[in-house]
Copies of this chain bind each other. A is one copy, B any other.
Amino acid sequence: MDIDFELKKRADFFNTQLEKFLDGGNPESLYNAARHLPLAGGKRLRPCFSLISCEAVKGDIIKVIPLAIALELIHNFTLIHDDIMDKSKLRRNLPTVHVKFGEPSAINAGDLLFIKAFESMHNISIDCSIFKNVEFGFIDFIKEICEGQQLDMDFENKQTVNEEEYLEMIRKKTAVFFQFAAEAGAIIGGGTQDEINALNEYGLNAGLGFQIWDDYLDISSDEITLGKDIGNDIRNGKKTLIAVHCLNNAVGDDKELLDRIFGNINAAENEVRQVYDLFKKLKSIDYAKNTALNYISTAKNVLDKLPDSEAKQLLLELADYSIKRNK
Protein backbone atom coordinates (compact mmCIF):
# COMPACT_ATOMS: atom_id res chain seq x y z
CA MET A 1 0.00 0.00 0.00
CA ASP A 2 1.39 3.37 -1.04
CA ILE A 3 0.45 5.67 1.84
CA ASP A 4 1.39 8.84 -0.04
CA PHE A 5 -0.84 7.83 -2.94
CA GLU A 6 -3.73 6.89 -0.64
CA LEU A 7 -3.51 10.14 1.32
CA LYS A 8 -3.24 12.22 -1.84
CA LYS A 9 -6.29 10.51 -3.34
CA ARG A 10 -8.36 11.46 -0.31
CA ALA A 11 -6.86 14.95 -0.07
CA ASP A 12 -7.71 15.61 -3.74
CA PHE A 13 -11.29 14.51 -3.24
CA PHE A 14 -11.50 16.57 -0.07
CA ASN A 15 -10.00 19.66 -1.76
CA THR A 16 -12.69 19.67 -4.42
CA GLN A 17 -15.38 19.67 -1.74
CA LEU A 18 -13.58 22.32 0.33
CA GLU A 19 -13.21 24.64 -2.66
CA LYS A 20 -16.91 24.29 -3.38
CA PHE A 21 -17.79 25.03 0.23
CA LEU A 22 -15.58 28.15 0.37
CA ASP A 23 -16.67 29.51 -3.00
CA GLY A 24 -18.23 32.98 -3.19
CA GLY A 25 -19.31 35.15 -0.26
CA ASN A 26 -19.56 38.87 0.38
CA PRO A 27 -17.68 41.07 0.99
CA GLU A 28 -15.00 39.59 -1.26
CA SER A 29 -12.25 41.24 0.80
CA LEU A 30 -13.24 39.05 3.78
CA TYR A 31 -13.77 35.84 1.85
CA ASN A 32 -10.52 36.22 -0.09
CA ALA A 33 -8.63 36.62 3.17
CA ALA A 34 -10.48 33.63 4.62
CA ARG A 35 -9.73 31.42 1.56
CA HIS A 36 -6.02 32.33 1.39
CA LEU A 37 -4.72 29.71 3.81
CA PRO A 38 -7.21 26.80 3.53
CA LEU A 39 -6.90 26.76 -0.26
CA ALA A 40 -3.09 26.94 -0.13
CA GLY A 41 -2.84 23.17 0.13
CA GLY A 42 -1.41 21.10 2.93
CA LYS A 43 -1.56 17.37 3.63
CA ARG A 44 -5.15 17.48 4.98
CA LEU A 45 -4.14 15.08 7.73
CA ARG A 46 -7.10 15.91 9.98
CA PRO A 47 -9.66 15.34 7.23
CA CYS A 48 -7.86 12.11 6.32
CA PHE A 49 -8.09 10.89 9.92
CA SER A 50 -11.85 11.34 9.87
CA LEU A 51 -12.31 9.90 6.37
CA ILE A 52 -10.20 6.79 6.96
CA SER A 53 -11.75 6.18 10.39
CA CYS A 54 -15.14 6.23 8.72
CA GLU A 55 -13.89 3.75 6.12
CA ALA A 56 -12.49 1.52 8.86
CA VAL A 57 -15.99 1.07 10.30
CA LYS A 58 -17.40 0.51 6.79
CA GLY A 59 -19.08 3.91 6.67
CA ASP A 60 -19.80 6.11 3.65
CA ILE A 61 -17.11 8.78 3.41
CA ILE A 62 -19.45 11.17 1.60
CA LYS A 63 -21.27 11.57 4.91
CA VAL A 64 -18.05 12.57 6.68
CA ILE A 65 -17.03 15.30 4.22
CA PRO A 66 -18.85 18.11 6.10
CA LEU A 67 -17.07 17.06 9.30
CA ALA A 68 -13.74 16.89 7.47
CA ILE A 69 -14.31 20.40 6.10
CA ALA A 70 -15.22 21.67 9.57
CA LEU A 71 -12.03 20.18 11.02
CA GLU A 72 -9.84 21.71 8.33
CA LEU A 73 -11.48 25.11 8.77
CA ILE A 74 -10.95 25.03 12.54
CA HIS A 75 -7.33 24.01 11.92
CA ASN A 76 -6.89 26.96 9.56
CA PHE A 77 -8.68 29.38 11.87
CA THR A 78 -6.26 28.45 14.68
CA LEU A 79 -3.27 28.82 12.33
CA ILE A 80 -4.39 32.29 11.21
CA HIS A 81 -4.89 33.49 14.78
CA ASP A 82 -1.74 31.75 16.08
CA ASP A 83 0.32 33.35 13.32
CA ILE A 84 -0.89 36.77 14.49
CA MET A 85 -0.07 35.89 18.10
CA ASP A 86 3.39 34.62 17.11
CA LYS A 87 3.99 37.36 14.53
CA SER A 88 4.85 34.68 11.95
CA LYS A 89 5.52 35.89 8.43
CA LEU A 90 5.32 32.72 6.37
CA ARG A 91 3.06 29.67 6.32
CA ARG A 92 2.97 26.97 3.63
CA ASN A 93 5.55 29.07 1.76
CA LEU A 94 3.11 31.97 1.44
CA PRO A 95 2.83 35.21 3.39
CA THR A 96 0.61 34.68 6.44
CA VAL A 97 -2.92 36.08 6.27
CA HIS A 98 -2.14 39.08 8.48
CA VAL A 99 0.93 39.91 6.40
CA LYS A 100 -1.04 39.78 3.15
CA PHE A 101 -4.37 41.24 4.26
CA GLY A 102 -3.53 43.19 7.43
CA GLU A 103 -4.14 42.15 11.00
CA PRO A 104 -7.76 43.36 11.36
CA SER A 105 -8.89 41.39 8.30
CA ALA A 106 -6.88 38.37 9.45
CA ILE A 107 -8.58 38.32 12.85
CA ASN A 108 -11.93 38.63 11.11
CA ALA A 109 -11.06 35.98 8.49
CA GLY A 110 -10.16 33.57 11.29
CA ASP A 111 -13.48 34.28 12.97
CA LEU A 112 -15.30 33.67 9.70
CA LEU A 113 -13.63 30.27 9.22
CA PHE A 114 -14.59 29.46 12.81
CA ILE A 115 -18.27 30.08 12.11
CA LYS A 116 -18.11 28.48 8.65
CA ALA A 117 -16.88 25.33 10.38
CA PHE A 118 -20.15 25.20 12.32
CA GLU A 119 -22.06 25.87 9.11
CA SER A 120 -20.36 22.83 7.61
CA MET A 121 -21.20 20.69 10.67
CA HIS A 122 -24.87 21.41 9.94
CA ASN A 123 -24.44 19.75 6.54
CA ILE A 124 -23.84 16.36 8.18
CA SER A 125 -26.79 14.12 7.28
CA ILE A 126 -27.33 12.20 10.46
CA ASP A 127 -29.94 11.56 13.11
CA CYS A 128 -30.51 14.71 15.16
CA SER A 129 -29.50 13.31 18.53
CA ILE A 130 -26.27 11.89 17.07
CA PHE A 131 -25.63 15.27 15.45
CA LYS A 132 -25.95 17.01 18.82
CA ASN A 133 -23.61 14.50 20.37
CA VAL A 134 -20.98 14.93 17.63
CA GLU A 135 -21.30 18.70 17.67
CA PHE A 136 -20.90 18.78 21.43
CA GLY A 137 -17.63 16.86 21.05
CA PHE A 138 -16.62 19.36 18.36
CA ILE A 139 -17.28 22.28 20.74
CA ASP A 140 -15.43 20.58 23.54
CA PHE A 141 -12.31 19.92 21.53
CA ILE A 142 -12.19 23.48 20.17
CA LYS A 143 -12.40 24.76 23.75
CA GLU A 144 -9.44 22.55 24.60
CA ILE A 145 -7.51 23.94 21.65
CA CYS A 146 -7.97 27.49 23.00
CA GLU A 147 -6.80 26.27 26.41
CA GLY A 148 -3.82 24.46 24.88
CA GLN A 149 -2.77 27.54 22.93
CA GLN A 150 -2.82 29.56 26.16
CA LEU A 151 -0.82 26.90 28.03
CA ASP A 152 1.77 26.97 25.25
CA MET A 153 2.07 30.76 25.53
CA ASP A 154 2.14 30.65 29.33
CA PHE A 155 4.89 28.02 29.32
CA GLU A 156 7.29 30.43 27.65
CA ASN A 157 7.30 32.55 30.80
CA LYS A 158 7.30 29.66 33.22
CA GLN A 159 10.54 28.58 34.88
CA THR A 160 9.68 24.90 35.17
CA VAL A 161 7.20 22.69 33.38
CA ASN A 162 6.90 19.06 34.30
CA GLU A 163 6.25 16.28 31.82
CA GLU A 164 2.62 15.91 32.87
CA GLU A 165 1.99 19.61 32.21
CA TYR A 166 3.76 19.39 28.86
CA LEU A 167 1.69 16.38 27.80
CA GLU A 168 -1.52 18.13 28.87
CA MET A 169 -0.54 21.12 26.73
CA ILE A 170 0.14 19.13 23.55
CA ARG A 171 -2.90 16.94 24.19
CA LYS A 172 -5.07 20.05 24.21
CA LYS A 173 -3.26 22.01 21.53
CA THR A 174 -2.75 19.21 19.01
CA ALA A 175 -3.81 15.70 19.94
CA VAL A 176 -7.51 16.39 20.60
CA PHE A 177 -7.78 17.33 16.93
CA PHE A 178 -6.77 13.86 15.77
CA GLN A 179 -8.68 12.24 18.60
CA PHE A 180 -11.93 13.99 17.68
CA ALA A 181 -11.36 13.54 13.92
CA ALA A 182 -10.98 9.79 14.28
CA GLU A 183 -13.77 9.39 16.84
CA ALA A 184 -16.32 11.51 14.98
CA GLY A 185 -15.45 9.85 11.65
CA ALA A 186 -16.30 6.52 13.29
CA ILE A 187 -19.54 7.84 14.81
CA ILE A 188 -20.76 9.28 11.52
CA GLY A 189 -19.63 6.11 9.77
CA GLY A 190 -21.94 4.13 12.03
CA GLY A 191 -19.25 2.28 13.99
CA THR A 192 -19.99 0.26 17.13
CA GLN A 193 -19.20 1.84 20.50
CA ASP A 194 -16.09 -0.36 20.77
CA GLU A 195 -14.89 0.78 17.37
CA ILE A 196 -15.59 4.41 18.23
CA ASN A 197 -13.66 4.10 21.49
CA ALA A 198 -10.75 2.40 19.75
CA LEU A 199 -10.53 5.11 17.10
CA ASN A 200 -10.75 7.80 19.78
CA GLU A 201 -7.71 6.23 21.50
CA TYR A 202 -5.96 5.75 18.19
CA GLY A 203 -6.37 9.44 17.32
CA LEU A 204 -5.25 10.63 20.74
CA ASN A 205 -2.10 8.51 20.79
CA ALA A 206 -1.22 9.20 17.18
CA GLY A 207 -1.73 12.93 17.83
CA LEU A 208 0.56 12.90 20.86
CA GLY A 209 3.16 10.90 18.91
CA PHE A 210 2.96 13.32 15.97
CA GLN A 211 3.53 16.38 18.12
CA ILE A 212 6.43 14.95 20.10
CA TRP A 213 8.01 13.66 16.89
CA ASP A 214 7.70 17.20 15.56
CA ASP A 215 9.78 18.48 18.48
CA TYR A 216 12.28 15.72 17.83
CA LEU A 217 12.45 16.43 14.09
CA ASP A 218 12.95 20.13 14.74
CA ILE A 219 16.10 19.43 16.66
CA SER A 220 17.45 16.41 14.77
CA SER A 221 16.99 17.90 11.30
CA ASP A 222 18.87 20.95 12.47
CA GLU A 223 21.53 18.93 14.26
CA ILE A 224 24.57 19.43 12.06
CA THR A 225 24.29 23.16 11.55
CA LEU A 226 22.56 23.83 14.87
CA GLY A 227 20.72 26.46 12.88
CA LYS A 228 18.39 29.31 13.67
CA ASP A 229 15.43 27.21 14.81
CA ILE A 230 17.10 25.32 17.64
CA GLY A 231 18.98 28.42 18.66
CA ASN A 232 15.76 30.43 18.85
CA ASP A 233 13.90 27.69 20.70
CA ILE A 234 16.69 27.52 23.29
CA ARG A 235 16.94 31.31 23.56
CA ASN A 236 13.15 31.62 23.88
CA GLY A 237 12.99 28.87 26.48
CA LYS A 238 10.56 26.85 24.38
CA LYS A 239 9.24 23.96 26.44
CA THR A 240 9.52 20.98 24.08
CA LEU A 241 9.57 17.50 25.59
CA ILE A 242 13.33 17.52 25.04
CA ALA A 243 13.75 20.70 27.04
CA VAL A 244 11.29 19.57 29.70
CA HIS A 245 13.16 16.30 30.16
CA CYS A 246 16.49 18.08 30.36
CA LEU A 247 15.23 20.74 32.79
CA ASN A 248 13.80 18.09 35.07
CA ASN A 249 16.89 15.87 35.05
CA ALA A 250 19.76 18.31 35.17
CA VAL A 251 21.51 18.72 38.54
CA GLY A 252 24.56 20.57 39.81
CA ASP A 253 26.59 22.35 37.12
CA ASP A 254 24.24 21.17 34.39
CA LYS A 255 21.29 22.74 36.18
CA GLU A 256 23.24 25.94 36.66
CA LEU A 257 24.09 25.99 32.94
CA LEU A 258 20.45 25.59 31.95
CA ASP A 259 19.27 28.25 34.40
CA ARG A 260 21.80 30.63 32.92
CA ILE A 261 21.31 29.98 29.19
CA PHE A 262 17.95 28.32 28.51
CA GLY A 263 15.44 31.12 27.93
CA ASN A 264 18.19 33.75 27.75
CA ILE A 265 17.39 35.72 24.62
CA ASN A 266 20.97 37.02 24.44
CA ALA A 267 22.68 33.64 24.70
CA ALA A 268 25.77 33.36 22.48
CA GLU A 269 26.28 30.71 19.81
CA ASN A 270 28.64 28.63 21.94
CA GLU A 271 26.25 28.79 24.91
CA VAL A 272 23.40 27.46 22.76
CA ARG A 273 25.78 24.67 21.74
CA GLN A 274 26.42 23.86 25.40
CA VAL A 275 22.69 23.45 26.03
CA TYR A 276 22.37 21.27 22.97
CA ASP A 277 25.25 19.11 24.19
CA LEU A 278 23.48 18.81 27.53
CA PHE A 279 20.31 17.62 25.74
CA LYS A 280 22.50 14.86 24.31
CA LYS A 281 24.37 14.10 27.52
CA LEU A 282 21.15 13.66 29.52
CA LYS A 283 19.63 11.67 26.64
CA SER A 284 16.73 14.10 26.39
CA ILE A 285 16.61 13.85 22.60
CA ASP A 286 16.48 10.04 22.76
CA TYR A 287 13.87 10.27 25.47
CA ALA A 288 11.58 12.42 23.29
CA LYS A 289 12.13 10.14 20.29
CA ASN A 290 11.27 7.03 22.30
CA THR A 291 8.24 8.66 23.88
CA ALA A 292 6.92 9.54 20.42
CA LEU A 293 7.56 5.97 19.21
CA ASN A 294 5.72 4.59 22.24
CA TYR A 295 2.64 6.67 21.52
CA ILE A 296 2.67 5.62 17.87
CA SER A 297 3.00 2.01 18.95
CA THR A 298 0.06 2.37 21.37
CA ALA A 299 -2.02 3.96 18.61
CA LYS A 300 -1.33 0.97 16.37
CA ASN A 301 -2.01 -1.61 19.07
CA VAL A 302 -5.41 -0.10 19.80
CA LEU A 303 -6.41 -0.89 16.22
CA ASP A 304 -6.39 -4.61 17.11
CA LYS A 305 -9.97 -3.97 18.21
CA LEU A 306 -11.01 -3.25 14.61
CA PRO A 307 -11.71 -5.94 12.01
CA ASP A 308 -9.03 -6.21 9.33
CA SER A 309 -9.60 -4.05 6.28
CA GLU A 310 -7.68 -1.90 3.82
CA ALA A 311 -8.70 1.16 5.83
CA LYS A 312 -7.31 -0.38 9.03
CA GLN A 313 -4.05 -1.09 7.21
CA LEU A 314 -4.01 2.52 6.08
CA LEU A 315 -4.53 3.74 9.66
CA LEU A 316 -1.59 1.60 10.77
CA GLU A 317 0.58 3.12 8.07
CA LEU A 318 -0.74 6.58 8.83
CA ALA A 319 0.53 6.23 12.39
CA ASP A 320 3.97 5.20 11.11
CA TYR A 321 3.84 7.95 8.50
CA SER A 322 4.44 10.55 11.19
CA ILE A 323 7.75 9.01 12.15
CA LYS A 324 8.95 8.75 8.58
CA ARG A 325 8.17 12.25 7.45
CA ASN A 326 10.68 15.04 7.25
CA LYS A 327 9.99 18.66 8.07
Contacts and interface: CB of A to CB of B under 8 A. Distances in A.
A103 to B, nearest CB: 7
Contacts of A122: 132, 135-136, 139
Interface stretch (A52-60, A150-158, A194-202): A150-158
Contacts of A26: 147
Interface in A107-128: 107-108, 110-112, 114-116, 118-119, 122, 128
Count this chain's copies in the assembly: 2
Nearest to A131: B132
A143 interface: yes
A142 interface: yes
A47 to B, nearest CB: 20
A84 B107 contact: yes
Contact of A143 (B84, B105, B112, B147): B112
B27 A104 contact: no
A122 B136 CA distance: 7
Given A128-B132, A132-B122, A85 B103 contact: yes
A129 interface: yes
A143 B119 contact: yes
A146 interface: yes
A149 interface: yes
A84 B140 CA distance: 26
A29 interface: yes
B150 A30 contact: yes
A81 interface: yes
A30 B147 contact: yes
Given A119-B139, A143-B115, A107 B104 contact: no
A54 B111 CA distance: 29
Contacts of A143: 112, 115-116, 119
Contacts of A85: 103-104, 107-108
Interface string A149-182: 1110110000000000000000000000000000
A309 B78 CA distance: 47
Given A30-B147, A128-B131, 20 more contacts: A27-B154, A29-B150, A29-B154, A30-B146, A30-B150, A81-B108, A84-B103, A85-B103, A85-B104, A107-B107, A108-B146, A108-B153, A111-B114, A115-B142, A115-B143, A116-B143, A118-B135, A119-B139, A122-B139, A128-B128
12 contacts: A27-B150, A27-B151, A81-B107, A81-B108, A84-B107, A105-B153, A112-B146, A115-B142, A115-B143, A118-B135, A118-B139, A122-B139
